[in-house]
Structure formats: structure tokens, C-alpha cells
Amino acid sequence: MAKRGLLGAAAAALGAAEALAALAVGHGFGIAVGVASATGGAALLATTRLPRRAARLVVGFAWASGALLLVRAASRDPARPARFPESCAAKPQGCARVAATASHRSGGLAPLRLDTTVAAAKGAALNWISAQPRAKVLDDLRLLDGEALLHARFVSRLWGFSDDLWVRVTCAEGGAALVEVQGSLRLGVGDMGVNPARCAALLEALRAAGGGLPAGGCGGGG
């Protein structure tokens, strides 16, 4: 009886914590697991007649909630303010970079040049990020030298692993807005191609949107 009560209390606490943590990052699977664990834990506390199979299921949800919480604790948002990384040296198999220097796992892509303002190019990147599932913009900066910087977090569908995406827009020679991008995982070694694909998708979306952006030298437009 006491053991079941402790199990119920642990499952309820872990589930509630995971549901709230998952809600904060928009992770639907984590919310579902947390709610199931909290509900099952409450049921264990409320009754002594819960079938053994159901009790084992509650234990499973509690373990899953604990594992998801550990993932979130190990991949918390980095300290701010953000800056565009210098390379992918720290995570060579979990990072992709398309930039003027130190490109890595770029798939042959080069930084994108757009005949528009820095503000417009950054706005197009921001719109793309905002439309992606489980993505949140953490920093939206316009620096003193005219450089624009976006830093976003992407959360994987199942286990809630977090990736970072940085987008830098600067004014290149000739008046074009130059877009550089880097994506990297926070936890683990390899990203199974997720970050190279994400960087390529962003650049392709910006290329396709380029014709609809305001024309002119990149130094204008605030």
C-alpha cells in the first residue's frame, strides 16, 4: 500500500513537471506523456484496486516522463545574447553551416545573396522559422554595424531534443543582402541529416521568396 502510494506520487509529480516543461516548448508528445503519467499517478493514489497491468503502464509513463525531463535539462536554452557561431568544430556530425567562412556539411550550397534590404531578408527568414512546427525564435537582433541576427530553437517530434538555428544577414559588396545560416544539435553527436536539411530548406525558401521582397540596396529599410 505504501509502495503504491509512493509510486503514485512520483508518477504524478514527474508527469506534471514534464507536461508543464513540454507545454513551454510546444512539444505535443511530451505533453501527452506527462498528462498520462500525472493522471495515472493520481489514480494510484486514489484507489487500491487499480489492475496490475494498469499500474505497470503508469510506471512506464513515469519513466518516460523522467527521461524527457532529463533531455530538457541537458539541452536548455543557451545564455544570451546570441552571436553567430564561428564554425561547426564543436559538433562536426551534428552541425551544418552555410557561410562565407568555414562552411560545413553545406551540400555544396553557398551563402544566399538577395537584392533587398537586410531588414526584409531577416523578416523573410523570421516568417519561415515561425511557420515551422515546434520552433521558437529566441533572439531577433539588429546589431550596430547593420548586421541582423536570428537565433531559434527547434524541438524534435518524439523525444524533444533541441536544435539551434542561427541566421545572419549582412550587407555584402555590391549592395546585396547576404544570408548565412548554421544549425546544430545541443545534445548528442549526430543529427541524422536534420540540420543540413533544415539549412537547405531555409535558404531555398528565401530564394523562392526573393522576387517578392522589396528591391534596392541592402543598407536601407531599417
Predicted confidence at residue 222, as pLDDT, reads 46
* Segments of the chain with pLDDT less than 70: 1-2, 4, 48-50, 81, 144, 219-222
Q: How confident is the model over 9-25, as pLDDT tens digits?
A: 888 899 999 999 888 88
Predicted confidence at residue 2, as pLDDT, reads 65
Give the phi and the psi of residue 96 in degrees, each rounded to 5: -135, 145
Predicted confidence at residue 25, as pLDDT, reads 85
Q: Which of 57, 30, 179 lies closest to 113 in space, CA to CA?
A: 179
Q: pTM (2 decimals)?
A: 0.84
Predicted confidence at residue 139, as pLDDT, reads 93
Contacts of 47 (CB under 8 A, 6+ apart): none
User: Considering Cα of 123, then 125, then 109, then 214, what sign does the dihedral take?
Assistant: negative
Residue 20: all three cell numbers together? 508543464
CA distance 122 to 118: 6
Buried b (16+ CB within 10 A) or exposed e, 174-212: eebbbbbbbbbbbbeeebeebbbebbbebbebbeebbee
